Amino acid sequence: MFVVKDTFSQTKKEWTIMHYAVGSNSSEIDLLSDIEEMKQGKRSNEYKLITLIDRIEGFSEDSVTLDGNFTDTRLYEINYETYKRLDGKEFFPQIKANRLFEGNMAEALTLKKFVQYCKKYYPANNYMLVLRSHGNGIGMCPDAEDGKMDRLYPGEMSYVLTNEESVDILGLDVCSMAGLENLYEWRPNNNSFSADYVLASSPLSGAWAYDAILDRLSDNENNKLDLDSNFFDGGIERNINPNNMTPLDFSKLIIEEIYDNQGWASWGLLDNTKIENVKTKVDEASKLLAHENKDSINAIIKNTLGYYHNTNSDIEIAQLTFPYIDAYHFWIQIADNVFFSKETRLKANEVCISLDNLVLNSYYGQGYLPETNNFLNGKNGVYQIIPQGDNVFSQSGRTFWNHCGWFHPDNRSSNENSYGQYDWCIDGAIRANNQVDNFFELLDYLFDESNEESGGVNNYQW
């Protein structure tokens, strides 16, 4: 093993992969395995792979994969069987080979600087940003090294990052972030950070097989040795030349390898250029549902495939903590329910069509997740935040909806483990007009009937 001296090239490549490795938590034990896989898989020099990695004591003791068993924050360029330790230049002046720097990787400004750094010093025609750490739907990439738990929140990312930091592909190598509400934060043409394609999981998931993914980025596209059958598109998987690889090509290659190596999980490849239409259709349907029977709606919520973590033996806590249900399964039940009006059912069917357009590829794993017959590959696989809101949590005596104060249009950043400011909740709503205008207001209508001027249980008056 040897380290190549830090050098910078302004030669523009077709692709730069930006890997944001947040190991300031228990995921640190796996991050060095990821880096080693990258070093074994990255055989082509026709694209750049840059990582910003943060480590912490108490987990991995690896001192071989990179330069020592460090516990600070460092920048590297990854190449076949080697790496370059990088200087942070003007974006991270504290990151130098002879200096220790502890960055807050859960701060959106850190992520923003990393993307800016990569785009300036490793320019490309296409960019993929991978966020690698833990996730729970509310946020991801936790960092508690300053004594207080912080996370990257979807609303925070769209508030701090700009259109200049937008990417072609956003890879969420974390758990439980494949929600419509998160995708909508990163929608194209929103005058903020955006991504055209998103790879994400709805339930618990594992790390990507970086060696298998990168090994297929080959100048020799005809090399089909050891390639599997393509689960999604049929035929045999193929290598792709990074010099003529489109974002859709790359995204499909990644989810093929995720499926090959994580058959127990559930992942989706999502065309985020379609999320705005999904939002429009969902809100239109929400206005109609406000005139339907509440008990019928609640019954469908309780009958919908949930993505709560199945690792918790207490199902009540699991459903409270992860109030995520499959969007397509929810809306198709409304479309098929003869007790709803024809107009409502037709609009719910339009939602299903929009979801089908959003979800390019998806699968539901075997052997870990609860058995279900309600998952259709390429339609299901993305969730909505829909708690079983009228349930009362036994330990608090408060409803599940009362515990969802983090899902809100207002700023919730003063609360621990929360941020709020979801565009999904804000857009389309007319506050305090006493009528349901979007899906968030439908939930508040269903579960906070008082609609008092004070805002009831979540300080929101619809």
Active site residues: 175
Cβ 244 vs Cβ 47: under 8 Å: no
Q: SS3 of 150, please?
A: strand
Q: How far apart are CA 201 and CA 221, in angstroms?
A: 29
Longest dimension (CA), the chain: 70
**How many Cβ atoms from other residues are within 10 Å of residue 416's Cβ?**
10
The whole-angstrom separation of Cα 192 and Cα 166 is: 8
Q: Estimate to the nearest angstrom the gap between the alpha carbon of 287 and the chain centroid.
A: 28
**Rounded Cα–Cα distance for residues 29 and 361 (Å):** 30
Main-chain dihedrals φ then ψ at residue 347, nearest 5 degrees = -70, -40
- Burial pattern 18-35, b for ≥16 Cβ within 10 A else e, equals bbbbbbbbebbbbbbebb
Contact between 438 and 428 (Cβ < 8 Å): yes
Please name the residue that has the structure tokens 């039940």.
333
- The Cα 391–Cα 402 span in angstroms is 10
Say how many Å lie between the first and final Cα of the chain, rounded: 61
Let me know if 233 is exposed, middle or buried by CB neighbors in 10 A (0-12, 13-18, 19+): exposed
Give the separation between CA 257 and CA 263, rounded to whole angstroms. Answer: 10
CA–CA separation, 365 and 148 (whole Å): 35
- Strand ranges (DSSP E) for 281-407? 324-326, 359-364, 383-385
Q: Which two tokens stand for residue 438?
A: 């979007």
Cβ neighbours for 324, distance < 8 A, ≥ 6 positions apart:
137, 176, 179, 202, 306, 307, 308, 383, 384, 385, 386
Q: Are 269 and 362 in contact (CB under 8 A)?
A: yes
